[in-house]
Structure 1
Amino acid sequence: MRLSIGIIASLLATATLASSNSRFFRRQTNVTGYAPKEGPLDTPWTDKVGTNPWPEYPRPQLQRSQWKSLNGVWRYQNASGLNEVDAPPFEVDLASPVLVPFCLESALSGVMGNWTIFSWYQTSFTVPSSWSSGNRVLLNFGAVDYEATVFVNRQKVGFHRGGYFGFTIDVTDYLSVNGTNEMLVFAHDPTDSGTWQIPIGKQTLEPSHIFYTPCSGIWQSVWLESAPANHITQLDLSADMDGKVNVNVHSSGNASTPVEVTIYEPHSTDVKATAKGNSGSAFEFTVDSPDLWSPDSPTLYNITIKMGSDTITSYTGFRTVSKAEIDGVMRPLLNGEFVFQFGTLDQGFWPDGIYTPPTREAMIYDLQVLKRVGYNMLRKHIKIEPALFYQAADEIGIMLIQDMPSMRPSIRDPNSTNACPPNVPVGQYASQLEFNRQLELMINQLKNYPSIVTWVIYNEGWGQERRAFYPEFGLMDLVRSIDPTRLINPVTGWHDHGAGDFHDNHHYANPQCGTPFYSVASTPYDPRRIAIQGEFGGVGQNVTEDHLWKVPAAVRDINQTYEIDETVEIWNYRSHILLTELLDQVKRFACSAAVWTQTTDVEGEVNGMLTYDRRVIRMDEEQWKNDIQALYDAAAERASGNHSMVMMPRDVAERLDGSQ
C-alpha cells in the first residue's frame, strides 16, 4: 500500500514537531547534569539505562579479574577542526555532559548531535588501591568512530584509527601520584563528508531510506584493567569437530614464555583437558570426545590460560566449517553435515542508542525472538558489534555471516563545475590500503567466536574497486591466511568475478537462489560454488506513528520500501508466498542458504520482523516456524540422497540444454 497524501501529511507534521521538540525537551535531570534527549523514538529499555550503562565485562574471550568500568557520565564539547588536537582543553570543564558509551548522535548520549565530526571527551578516574602492586594499568576502548587521540594527565598516550575496533593503551607511566587522573579523548569522524572514503557501512551524514543516522565518537565500553608487565595481548584460539585445539598466545614481552591451557567441562569446574606451550608460537593439542557446537546444541567450554603471572579466562566451541559436493551440489557443512542456513539481514541499529543497544538485555532480545521462530543464522550487515553480541550468538546458537563494513562507493565529483555535480567512483588507492588493513583487524578481532561461519568482504560493490583490478581475489587470500577455518564470500550481491566459496544473489522481493534464472544485476549461478540468496524479501508493512522514526525525511522515504503491504495479515501472507518460492528452489535447484531482509525496521525502512522500537512483532510465529522448518526439512531430504528431486518442466529443461 502506498501511503495516501493525507496520511503522509499527518505523519510529517507529527515527525516535524517531535524532531524540533526533541532538541530541547529533556527527561528529568540527575545530579550529574546528564539527561537523555527525547529522541524520535525510544525502546522498552531506554529508561532502564541509567548512568552506569553496560556494566558487564566487555571482552569475554580475553577476560581479567581486576578491572574497572569507565562507562558513565563524561563531559563533551564540539571541536572546530583537526587543529584543535594540538591544543587540548586541559583542566577545563567541557561544556556538556555525555553518557559513554553511546555515540554522540544518539538520544541516550544526552547530546544527539548532528555532523559531530570533531569532538572532545573528558573524564577523570582513579586506580583501585586493591590492584596487584607492580602490575601495569591498561586503558581499553571497545570502539571509537573514527579516529581517537587519547591524553592522560596532559600527555598524549595513544592514537587509533578505525571505527569498529578495540584498542589498548598502557597508561601506567602517565598516572598521577595523587591518585586522580584526567583523561581527554579527541574524536574525529568524517563519515561520508568531503572526499573521505572510509569503512562506514550504513552510516551517512544525510540519512535517506536505506542509509541511516551516523555514529560518532565513543560507542563501545571503556575500561581499565590490571595486568603484569609481560601480559597476554591477543589470544588466537580455534577448536574443531575432531577435538583438535589450536592456540597462539601473543604477549607484550619479546621473550617466549611458558603457557598453560586448561579446558573445563561445560557448566562445570571439572577439568576436561590441559596443555602446555609457549607464547608467540602456535601449538596444538586434542581433547577427547568433545560435545560439538551447533545451533541445535550450542555447547561452549570455559578456558583458563596462564602465561607467567598473567591469567585470563576465555571460552570456545568445538565445530568445523567446510564445504563439499553432496549429490552433485556444492554445500556448506557444519561438523561434516549440510545445514541449510536461514537468517535475517541484521543491521544492528537502535532508535535510542543508534549503533549501541541500550542494554545487553535489549541486544539479546532480538536474537531470542529470531531463534524462537527457527532462524539459525544472521547476516551481520556491514557493521561490527560489541564482543558481547558475539558471545550471545555463541550461547544462543546462531550462526553468523559477518560483513566487513563497506566504504562509500561514490562521491560528488570534486572537479565538476556543475551546480549539482555528478557522482563518480571514489577508488582512492590509499583508501583501499586502509580498507585492507581494517579487514585484517576485523578477522583478528572476531575469529575466535564459534558462531561466525562466513566472512563477507564486499557488499553490492560498495567501495569495491573494479576498474583497474579486482581486489577481492587478493583479499580472499589475505583472509584465508589469517583464518583458514571459515568460508569466505568476497562479493555479496553483484560485481561477482568468480572469487570465493559462494555464488551470491540479491533480489527483491522473490528469491533466485541457485536457479537457472537471475536478474540483470546478478550473474548466472556458478555450480562450482555454494548458492546463497544473500538478500531477498524486504516486504514492508506500515505501522502507527507510535512505532515510527519521527523524522520527516524518514517518513517521506517509507514508500521507497520494495513493497508495502496494507495489513500485518497480508504481510505474513506475502512472506509465506516468498518463503514457499524459496522452498521450491531448495527442492528443485541448488539453494543452500538465504538471508531475509530484515530483523527490524530502521528509520525509514518498515520491513522488519519487528518494528524499530521492538514493541511490535509482525510475525505470525506459528506460520514462520512452519515455513522455516520446511526449508530445513527439504534441505535435509536433498542431502540424504533419498529425495525425489522435483524437476523443471521438460520444455524448460530442453531450452536450457539447447535442445530442439
Structure 2
Amino acid sequence: MHLISQLCFLLCAAALGNAVVLRPRDPVKYQLKTPPLDTPWTDKVGRSPWPQYPRPQLRRDVWNSLNGIWTYQAAAGAGDVEKSPPLLPYAEEVLIPSCIEGGISGLQKWGVTHMWFGTYFEIPQEWNSNERILLNFEAVDYEATVFVNNVRLGRNTGGYFRFTFDITDQVKRGQLNSLKVFVFDPTDDQSIPQGKQTKRLSHIFYTPCSGIWQTVWLESVPKNHITSVDISGGMDGQLNITVHSNTRQPTQVKVEIHGLESEYATQRWGFESDQLAKISVPGVKLWSPDSPKLYNITVKMGDDLVQTYTGFRTIKSEVVNGVRRPILNGKFLFQFGPLDQGYWPDGIHLPPTHEAMVWDLELIKGLGMNMVRKHIKIEPDLFYEACDRLGLLVIQDMVSMRVHTNARPSDAEQAEFERQLEIMVNEHKSYPSIVTWVIYNEGWGQRTDYFPEFKIVDRIRVLDPSRLIDAVTGWEDHGTGDFLDNHHYADPQCGTPYYSRLSSPYDQSRIGFQGEFGGLGHRPEDKHLWPVEGAVRTINETYEIHANTDSYNWRAHVLLDLLKQQIERYACSGAVYTQTTDVEGEVNGLVTYDRRFVRVDTQQWRTDIQALYSAAAGRA
C-alpha cells in the first residue's frame, strides 16, 4: 500500500474496532471499462454519478449522496453473509450506482451471484444531532444484506425497489463509518421477478444487471417524520392525499399547493397524518400530454417538511358511441407510443446520465407520441418525473418471472411476485403520468392451473383506484382487467373481429388495445451494432428485416395506415410500437442501441401518428 493509504486504513480499522489486517496491495483502481458499444454519454459519467435528488416526490433539503467510488469483491457463496463482513477495502474499485456487468461499473464482470460492496462515509458536522439518520437504497439487484460498522441492519429482497434503514444508533459522528453490502443475485437460476435479464442470452433476453444499480444516500430527518405521501388529483379538482409517518401516530399535517391561478395563488389545508384526506382545490388546470401542468406542494408535519408535486387528471374506462374506451379528463384519448425496454450498452439497466435518460423520452415525444409502455422493468423515480413533466402517459408493466422453463411458479414464488407487485404500485401510484398497470406479459411466469390475475386485479383496485389495469398483455387472457390486449407482428390486429394464434377475439366489454406490433428491423452499420457474436447471430430473428431505411420507413407508413383504418372501422383504442431502441441482437428500434443513428423519417412518422389521433377524434 502507499503510505497515505496505509495510514488511512489503520486509522479506519482502529476507529471501527477491527483487527488490523493489512492487505497486500491497494484495490485495483477504478477505470471506465470500454463497453462493447458506447453512447454519447458514456464518457460523461464521471466519478460522482447521478447527483440528482433521487425521490422527486419526497424532497428534503438535508441529504448526502453516497454515489461514487466504492470497493467490490466476489464472495464464495451464500454462507459468507453469515460470517463477519470482510475488512475494507475490497479487491477492486467500482462505481456506484452501476450494474457490475456494464462498462460504467469499471468491472464488466459476468456470472457473479454473490458479492460484497463497501465504502466509508461521514455524517456531515452541520446535521442536527437530535435528528435521525436514514440510509436509503433506491434499488439493489436482487437481495441485499446491509452492515454499518459491522452491525447487520437487515436484508431486502427485490431488484427494483427502494429500502431504508435508520442507522442513527450505529453511526459515529465525527468519525468514518463503514458501509458494507452483501448482494445475492440468482437472475434466472430461480423463479424471481427478473424481466428480460438472463444468463442464457437469446434474441429478446439480454445481459443481466447485478449489484447496487441505483442511488445510495443519507438523509437527516426528525424523530417523527414523513415516510411517504400518496397523492392523486382528479379532473374535478379533488386531491386525495395520505401522509404516512414512521410512528403511524396521527399528527397534524399542513399542506400548501403552489402555482394556482392568481386569485387563489397558494392554498393551505390541515389534516391528520396516516389517514386519507380529501380536499377540494379551486382553479386547477388539468394534466394531459398536450398540457402537462404540475403543481408543487409543501407538506409539513411537526418539524418535518417535504416538497412534492401532483397533476390533476382522471383516467377511466367508459363507452363512447358504443365502444369501450380509455377516457382521460372526460375525453377518449388514443394512446400511441413505443415499447420501452430501458437498456443501455454501457450501463445495462441504468442510463449513463440523467441527460441520456431524458434524451430517449424527448425523442419519443418529438415524434408526436403521447405514451410509453415501460416493458417489464421499473425505472428510477426520476424517469417517471421526466414523463410527468414532458407529458408522456406511462403504461407500467410488472417485472415478469422466469420464462426459460415451462414450470409455473410455486405458491411461495407466486406470493413473492404479488408482494413485489404491490410494492411497485404503492411506490409509483402518485406519478400522474402512469395511467395503466400491467400484471402479466405474454403468459411469462403466469399461473394457469388457476387464474391469479382476477384476485390481483381486485387487490390493485383497492391499492390504487385511480388507474386502469391491463391484466394480461399478449395472451393467456381469461377475461379480467380493463383491456383485451393483443400482440401481433408485424401488422396490427387492434380491436378487430379477426385474430391470430394465441390471441383472443375482441371482447366488447373491455378496451381493444394493441399491446405490441411493428418490430420492423434494419441492420445498421457495424459501428452501431452490439458486437457480441451470440447477439449478432440472432439479428435475423427480428420480426421483419429491411435492407435499408427507405424500405423500413415505407413499411412503417403502411403499418401505421393499417392501424388508422382499424381505428376508423373497428374498436382500436391504443397501440404500442416495438420499440424505442435496438437492444443487443434486436435491431428494431426507432434508434440504434448506441443512440447515435435515428432510423425513422421524423416528418413522415409525425404525420402518420397525427393521422391516428385524427382518426380517433372522428370516433369520439
Tell me if both proteins adopt one fold, taking TM over 0.5 as the criterion. yes
Q: Pick the aligned partner of 1:631 from 602, 612, 618.
A: 612
1:537-593 deviation line (CA, Å, top 9, x unaligned):
001000111000011000001011001000011100110011111000000000000
SS of aligned partner of 2:287: coil
Aligned pair 1:545/2:526, yes or no?
yes
* Equivalent residue, structure 2, for 1:572: 553
Answering whether residue 308 of structure 2 is matched by residue 328 of structure 1, we say no
Query: What displacement does 1:92 show?
Result: 3.1
The answer (yes or no) to whether the contact 1:199–1:405 under 8 Å persists in 2 is yes
Larger mean CA deviation between 268-277 and 437-446 belongs to: 268-277
Indicate which of 56, 79, 94 corresponds to 2:75.
79
1:133 Cα deviation from its structure 2 partner: 2.7
**Whole-Å separation in 2 of the counterparts to 1:492 and 1:461:** 8
Superimposed CA distance per residue, residues 263-295 of structure 1 (whole angstroms, 9 cap, x where no aligned partner): 000699984321111111111111112010000
- Residues 153-180 of structure 1 show CA distances to partners (whole Å, capped at 9, x for unaligned) of 0100121011010011100000024421
Q: Deviations over 1:15-48 (max 9, x none)?
A: xxxxxxxxxxxxxxxx992111111100000000
Deviations 1:514-536 (A, max 9, x none): 00110011010001100000000
Partner of 1:12: none
Structure 2 distance, partners of 1:554, 1:243, is 51
Deviation string for 1:591-618 (max 9, x for gaps)? Answer: 0000000000000000000000000111
Tell me the distance in 1 between the aligned counterparts of 2:86 and 2:201.
35
- Native 8 Å contact 1:344 1:595 kept in 2: yes
Amino acid aligned to 1:425: A
Tell me which of 335, 351, 358 is aligned to 1:357. 351
Q: Distance in 1 between matches of 2:573 and 2:266?
A: 35
Matched, 1:466 2:448: yes
8 Å CA contact 1:203–1:211 kept in 2: the answer is: yes
Mapped contact 1:262–1:271 kept (Cα < 8 A) = no
Pick closer, same or farther for the CA change 1:185–1:267 going to 2, 3 Å.
farther
What does 1:127-276 correspond to in 2, within 5 Å? 127-193=123-189, 196-265=190-259, 271-276=265-270
The amino acid that maps onto 2:63 is W
Task: Give the aligned partner of residue 64 of structure 2.
Answer: 68
The one-letter code matched in structure 1 to 2:415 is L
Partners of 2:570 and 2:408 in 1: CA distance: 38
Q: Determine if the alignment matches structure 1 residue 609 to structure 2 residue 587.
A: no
Alignment-derived partner of residue 467 in structure 2: 486
**Structure 1 residues 589, 505: CA separation in 2 closer, same or farther (over 3 Å shift)?**
same
- Which residue of 1 is the match for residue 52 of structure 2? 56
Contact kept in structure 1, 2:38 and 2:345, CA below 8 Å: yes
Superposition deviation, residue 409 in structure 1: 3.2
- Residues 264 and 270 of structure 1 are in contact (CA less than 8 Å); yes or no, is this contact kept in structure 2? no
Letter in 2 for 1:231: H
Distance of 1:629 and 1:300 partners within structure 2: 25
Deviation sequence 1:73-109 (CA, Å, 0-9, x none): 1000011211000124443320001100011111100
Which letter does structure 2 place at the counterpart of 1:608? G
Q: Could you say which residue in structure 1 is the equivalent of 2:29?
A: 33
3-state DSSP of counterpart to 1:174? coil
* Distance in 2 separating the partners of 1:270 and 1:604: 55
Q: How does 1:46-125 map to 2 (within 5 A)?
A: 46-125=42-121
Deviation of residue 373 (structure 1)? Answer: 1.0
1:233 touches 1:250 (CA, 8 Å); kept in 2? yes
Structure 2 Cα separation of the partners of residues 621 and 335 of structure 1: 29
Q: Structure 1 residue 407: deviation in Å?
A: 0.3
One-letter amino acid of the counterpart of residue 224, structure 2: N
Q: Secondary structure at the match of 1:342?
A: strand
Give the whole-Å Cα distance in 2 for the aligned partners of 1:214 and 1:269: 53
| Alpha-carbon distance in structure 1 between the residues aligned to 2:590 and 2:248 | 51
Aligned residue in 1 for 2:8: none
**Per-residue CA shift, 1:202-241, capped at 9, x if unaligned?**
0001211100000011111010010001111121111100
Q: Which secondary structure state, in structure 1, belongs to the residue aligned with residue 538 of structure 2?
A: helix
Q: Which deviates more from structure 2 when the two are superposed, residues 235-244 or residues 263-272? A: 263-272
Question: Match of 2:600, as an amino acid?
Answer: M
Structure 2 residue aligned with 1:376: 370
Cα 1:302–1:539 shift into 2, 3 Å? same
Matched, 1:456 2:452: no
Once residues 33 and 264 of structure 2 are traced to their aligned partners in structure 1, the CA distance between those partners, rounded to angstroms, is 49
Q: State the distance in 2 between where 1:447 and 1:304 align.
A: 19
Whether 2:340 is the aligned partner of 1:346: answer yes
Of 488, 493, 514 in structure 1, the residue corresponding to residue 495 of structure 2 is 514
Instruction: Confirm or deny that 1:619 pairs with 2:619.
Output: no
Q: 1:476 touches 1:488 (CA, 8 Å); kept in 2?
A: yes
Which stretch of structure 1 is more off in the superposition, 266-275 or 439-448? 266-275
Contact 1:410 1:463 in 2 (8 A): no
What secondary structure is seen at the aligned counterpart in 1 of 2:266?
strand
Match 2:508 to one of 487, 509, 527: 527
Counterpart-to-counterpart distance in 2, 1:278 and 1:554: 56
The one-letter code of the counterpart of 2:426 is N
Residue 541 of structure 2 aligns with which residue?
Answer: 560
Letter in 1 for 2:490: A
- Say whether residues 1:277 and 2:271 are aligned partners: yes
Aligned residues: 595
Contact 2:85 2:150 in 1 (8 A): no
User: Residue type of the partner of 1:134?
Assistant: N
Contact 1:460/1:493, CA 8 A, preserved across alignment: yes
Shift of 1:428: 1.1
Residues 300/126 of structure 1: CA separation in 2 closer, same or farther (3 Å cut): same
Identify the residue that residue 439 of structure 1 maps to in structure 2: 421
Whether contact under 8 Å (1:266, 1:299) holds in the other structure is no
The answer on whether the counterparts of 2:261 and 2:283 sit within 8 Å (CA) in structure 1 is no
1:54–1:359 CA contact under 8 A, matched in 2 = yes
SS in 1 for 2:527: helix
In structure 2, C-alpha distance between the alignment counterparts of 1:434 and 1:33, rounded to whole Å:
39
Match of 2:4 in 1: none
Between 264-273 and 601-610, the greater mean CA deviation after superposition: 264-273
Partner residue, 2:5: none
Instruction: Indicate conservation of the 8 Å contact 1:266/1:300, yes or no.
Output: no
Which structure 2 residues correspond to residues 576-587 of structure 1 after superposition, within 5 A? 576-587=557-568
AA matched with 1:206: R
Letter in structure 2 aligned against 1:71: N
Aligned partners of 1:400 and 1:451 also within 8 Å: yes
Asked if the contact 1:232/1:250 (under 8 Å) is kept, the reply is: yes
Q: Distance in 2 between matches of 1:546 and 1:506?
A: 32
Listed one character per residue, the Cα deviations across residues 470-495 of structure 1 (whole Å, up to 9, x for unaligned) are 00000001111100000000100000
Q: CA deviation at 1:410?
A: 4.6
Which residue identity is paired with 1:146? Y
- What's the counterpart of residue 7 of structure 2? none
